[in-house]
Chain A
Amino acid sequence: DTAVSQTPKYLVTQMGNDKSIKCEQNLGHDTMYWYKQDSKKFLKIMFSYNNKELIINETVPNRFSPKSPDKAHLNLHINSLELGDSAVYFCASGDRASYQPQHFGDGTRLSIL
Chain B
Amino acid sequence: SQKIEQNSEALNIQEGKTATLTCNYTNYSPAYLQWYRQDPGRGPVFLLLIRENEKEKRKERLKVTFDTTLKQSLFHITASQPADSATYLCALDGTNAGKSTFGDGTTLTVKP
- Which among B45, B89, B102 has the highest number of chain A CB atoms within 10 Å? B102
CB distance from A8 to the nearest CB of B (A): 14
> Which chain B residues border A45 with CB–CB below 8 Å?
99-101
Cβ < 8 Å to B, chain A residues 38-61: 40-45, 48, 50, 55-56
Interface size, chain A (Cβ < 8 Å)? 29
Does B41 contact A104, Cβ atoms closer than 8 Å? no
Does B98 contact A56, Cβ atoms closer than 8 Å? yes
Does A101 contact B46, Cβ atoms closer than 8 Å? yes
Which residues of B are interface residues toward A (Cβ below 8 A)?
31-32, 34, 38, 41-46, 49, 51, 87, 89, 93, 96-102, 104-105
Return 16 A-B CB contacts under 8 Å, by A number: A4-B43, A31-B98, A42-B105, A43-B105, A48-B99, A50-B98, A96-B97, A96-B98, A97-B97, A99-B32, A101-B49, A104-B44, A105-B43, A106-B41, A107-B41, A107-B43
Which residues of A are interface residues toward B (Cβ below 8 A)?
4, 31, 33, 35, 40-45, 48, 50, 55-56, 90, 92, 94, 96-107
